[in-house]
Copies of this chain bind each other. A is one copy, B any other.
């Protein structure tokens, strides 16, 4: 089942998880790490204790499976850890929340090297620390295949959550963060190439614009979603939840020079990556008027009456996104 044994930089440590007690393993994965200010009690007890400053807590869970969501012939354990953290932290950002802490569940073969889990959790710590969060607790058990479940907890700072249901006809649509980069990276890796590094790394782990979510909430975003399945697919979820239609205007979508180059080299259309590529975890949100769109967001469309998502006023031909089961 595993695509290939996970690589590790630490040749000096040949121990497998089967050779360590549960407590020794937790110590290996957490020693020397600092928790964020929101972690009142970290790993080692029956449960963790976290702050929830405004009397509420935002919570999201995502599962990543080897060979389905990552491959160790494409990514290092550290990159996989960053991705596992990022996809959850992006979900919090899409509600307008700032992260407090992560919890980690790992199922892995007993033959998994301790060094692999240490590098994987190093990636989680690194991504969590970008946003001032910690890794507050978890569980590691035997399984036939590496399965990583991350739960992220966060705080809304007294604001209302920005859900998928609040878009209204007349709103404008804007996005913040990368679109199409992970899809371009997948196309490159799928043909056996390892460069350009910028797009290949975008496939290995996303770089969601974490701070943009809470800022959009403060500036009155009416709805927001994390783009994980592809822009059109996720706008479809937003349109459906809000009971509106959404139109994307491609003339407003900037194609980054790097994606244009990769598209040209591979004979692929970079606009398709931007409209349908998943895994970048940028944010898409609606705002009541153009002046409400924060500076680091790009206005790319509009909200109307009706249902469904169109591109330049028309249905978009071809597959629109990614379905887990198909």
Q: List residues of chain A with CB under 8 Å of any chain B CB.
A: 1, 17-23, 40-41, 44-53, 55-65, 67-69, 91-92, 94-95, 97, 101, 103-107, 110, 136-145, 147, 149, 151-154, 156, 161, 163-165, 224-226, 237, 241, 323-326
Decide: A137 and B18 in contact? CB cutoff 8 A: no
Copies of this chain, tallied across the complex? 2
Q: Can you spell out 16 A-B residue pairs with CB atoms less than 8 angstroms apart?
A: A18-B326, A41-B163, A46-B60, A46-B91, A46-B94, A49-B95, A50-B57, A51-B56, A53-B55, A59-B101, A61-B105, A68-B143, A139-B149, A140-B324, A142-B325, A144-B145
Q: Are A137 and B60 in contact (CB under 8 A)?
A: yes
A110 adjacent to B325 (CB under 8 Å): yes
Task: Report Cα–Cα, A97/B22, bound state, in Å.
Answer: 24
Report A115 CB to chain B, min CB distance, Å. 16
Contact B59 A50 (CB under 8 A): yes
Residues of B within 8 A of A60 (CB): 46-48, 103, 137
* Shortest beta-carbon distance from A250 to chain B in Å: 25
For A138, the chain B residues whose CB sits under 8 A away are 61
- In the bound complex, what is the Cα–Cα distance between A20 and B52 (angstroms)? 36
Measured CB to CB, the closest approach of chain B to A84, in angstroms, equals 11
- Chain B residue contacts of A241, Cβ below 8 A: 44-45
Pick the residue among B47, B95, B141, B149 that contacts A59 (CB under 8 A).
B47
Q: How far is the CA of A208 from the CA of B23 in the complex (A)?
A: 23
State A105–B67 Cα separation when bound (angstroms). Answer: 17
- In the complex the two chains form, what is the Cα distance from A69 to B140 in whole Å? 13
Given contacts A41-B161, A48-B58, contact A18 B325 (CB under 8 A): yes
Tell me the nearest residue of chain B to A19, going by C-beta.
Answer: B325
Take A55-B53, A241-B44 as given contacts and tell me if A104 and B61 are in contact as well, using a CB distance cutoff of 8 Å. yes
Across-interface contacts of A140 in B (CB, < 8 A)? 63, 324
Q: Are B324 and A153 touching (Cβ within 8 A)?
A: no
Q: Which residue of B lies closest to A106 (CB)?
A: B63
Contact A137 B95 (CB under 8 A): no
7 other A-B residue contacts (CB within 8 Å) besides A61-B149, A63-B140: A44-B164, A45-B241, A47-B152, A50-B56, A59-B103, A105-B151, A144-B145
Given A57-B52, A139-B63, are A47 and B97 also a contact pair (CB < 8 Å)? yes
